Chains A and B, each alone.
Chain A
Amino acid sequence: MPDKPVPPVQPWSEPFWAGAREKRLMLQKCASCNKYIFYPRLGCPFCFSERLDWTEASGHGTVYSYTVVKNNPPSSFAGDVPFVIAIVELEEGVRMMTNIVDCDPEAVCCDMPVEVTFEPLTDKITLPKFKPLAKEGTGNA
């Protein structure tokens, strides 16, 4: 089986990947129009400002859509089926492609609450993935 594709790192996306290595989901935020930005850009795609800051996201979001891959995936994912590809909308309003992990694939549904988790791919690249949001209030007081 061929190796998994590894995302290339651009100079302006390096803080995102540095954050992921430390299990922090980092987003750009425009200092001019205050909008959150994903994926990382050289300039703000809303107001064209170049004053972009980095901020840590809450890591919480919902599943906008998903699909359970069962057959005929790309060669390098042949050993992974079934797996879940999803578009997650973060609390900050941006959307990202990801996998839903740590749950039964059949339990995933649209609008389901999820939280970020991190899976190392290489020494440099750790992929943010998502898992069902742990229910609150189940711990002992």
Chain B
Amino acid sequence: MKGKIAIVGIGEVPTGRYPERSGIQCAIEAVRLAIKDTGINKDRIDTVIPTAALCSPQFNTDLVTGRVCEELGLHVRNNVQLFAGGATSAIMLKVAAGLIATGVSEYILFLHTDKLGTDVSPQAGIDLFATAGISREWEMAYGMHYSAVAGLITQRYMHETGTTPEQMAAVCVSNRKWAELNPNAMFRKPLTIEEVLASKVLSTPLHAKESNMLADGGAAFIVTSAERAREVTERPVFLLGEGSRVTHYALSQEPDLSRFGWAVAAKEAFEAAGLSPSDMDLAELYDSYPVFQLVALEELGLTRRGEAGAFVRAGHTWPGGKLPMTTNGGMLSQGHTGAGGGIAILVEAARQLMNKAGERQVPGARFAVETATGGTYVDAHVTILGTEIP
């Protein structure tokens, strides 16, 4: 898989609450941006792969049945939905590799759009997600929901590693410092550790400002073979390696709440790429809650076990730090658009490597590691991307 496919264009509309902008508008605008960014004729796209929109089953069916193709005049061979929750971004690249290597597709357009910020009320959002990946038979009757998922994981992680509340809050501050530089982010006002810890407790030890916010948004990216990529852009973003594991369905069945499957997934990915954690210029780590960035920093080998909190607190992941992390602000600051939360992180990794990240550009970034996970963190996907094939 190493160096066989590349991302050649990206598009994104701002994430936040935009009641006047429909889901299909988000999709169309994001796709138009991605096609323009790629600089190819729209007719070269032969496969369109939208992921699921959670805001409305009817709108989701629009995406399944080819509305985006028709609205944009894309005369494609395939339109098919691909959905693995928050892990969708990583799985899109693996599916792209298969379709392109076998010649089924030449240019694949991936897209996401959702309206979780304005078409779903905050309480309905909590109730909707409390049915998503939480076992009706063995968990739901105990009041399980996503703040409790994060609370259970954060509690055990802090118990085992000695990570402090201040260190956990520092992750939110790190993400916010990047979002301050991101015009597409929902939350851009500076944030302090004290403000995070003063926000109300949702499910111990999780504070409200350690929780993501559901939002509207849309993003798209275009993937093709490495050969074609070199023809259309001087700076393709090559897929260099991937690794993954599915470790549970019901959260109670996860063998290790402070580690999950990240270590073995990372080993596979780095070996496939022929690179090591110290080669990474960027760590585009899936957040949704701060504990996941700390677990990923440690399990991917970017810091040692138990040291990620102090690493973030020291500012090493902030703008100007030695390991820029989640540079769009993540779901904690850019906003959580369902499957789009992870796609926004992948698009950001590509944006940085393409040298198109504006004020928050990490100078000279060549290699990035990206993580993605879905449901109650049922799977661990590690993806290595780069502007060259080592």
Contact = CB atoms under 8 A, between A and B. Distances in A.
Interface string B114-143: 000000000100110010000111111111
A5 interface: yes
B137 A13 contact: yes
Interface string A104-138: 00000011000000000100010100000000000
Nearest to B204: A68
Interface residues of B, number: 36
Cβ-closest 7 pairs across A and B? A67-B151, A65-B156, A77-B143, A97-B252, A68-B204, A67-B203, A110-B159
A140 interface: no
B229 to A, nearest CB: 43
B152 interface: yes
Interface residues of A, number: 36
B123 to A, nearest CB: 6
Nearest to B258: A65
A34 interface: no
Interface string A13-49: 1000000000000000000000000010000000000
B78 to A, nearest CB: 36
A89 B201 CA distance: 26
A121 B137 CA distance: 13
A33 B349 CA distance: 46
A70 to B, nearest CB: 5
A96 B250 CA distance: 9
B165 to A, nearest CB: 14
A85 B206 CA distance: 13
Contact of A7 (B136, B201, B206): B136
Interface of A: 4-8, 10, 13, 39, 64-75, 77, 80, 83, 85-87, 95-99, 110-111, 121, 125, 127
Contact of A65 (B126, B127, B159, B250): B159
Given A64-B257, A87-B152, A110-B156, A39 B142 contact: no
Nearest to B123: A75
B140 A70 contact: no
A121 B143 CA distance: 13
A85 B203 CA distance: 9
B367 to A, nearest CB: 35
Nearest to B140: A5
B381 to A, nearest CB: 23
A74 B253 contact: no
A119 to B, nearest CB: 10
B130 A74 contact: yes
Nearest to A75: B127
Contacts of B252: 87, 95-97
B144 A65 contact: no
B295 to A, nearest CB: 14
Contacts of B127: 74-75
A78 B324 CA distance: 40
B134 to A, nearest CB: 9
7 contacts: A67-B205, A68-B151, A70-B203, A71-B201, A72-B126, A73-B126, A80-B143
Contacts of B346: none
B251 A8 contact: no
B171 interface: no
A97 B139 CA distance: 6
B145 A127 contact: no
B148 interface: yes
Question: By CB atoms of chain A within 10 A, which of B123, B126, B130, B142 has the most?
Answer: B142
Contacts of A85: 142-144, 148, 151-152, 203
A69 B200 CA distance: 11
B159 to A, nearest CB: 4
B246 interface: no
B181 interface: no
A46 B139 CA distance: 22
Given A8-B136, A65-B257, A66-B155, 16 more contacts: A7-B141, A65-B153, A65-B155, A67-B151, A67-B152, A68-B151, A69-B151, A70-B202, A71-B203, A72-B147, A74-B126, A74-B130, A83-B143, A85-B148, A97-B135, A99-B143
Interface string B38-71: 0000000000000000000000000000000000
B33 interface: no
B147 A6 contact: no
B208 interface: yes
Given A7-B136, A74-B127, A97-B251, A69 B143 contact: yes
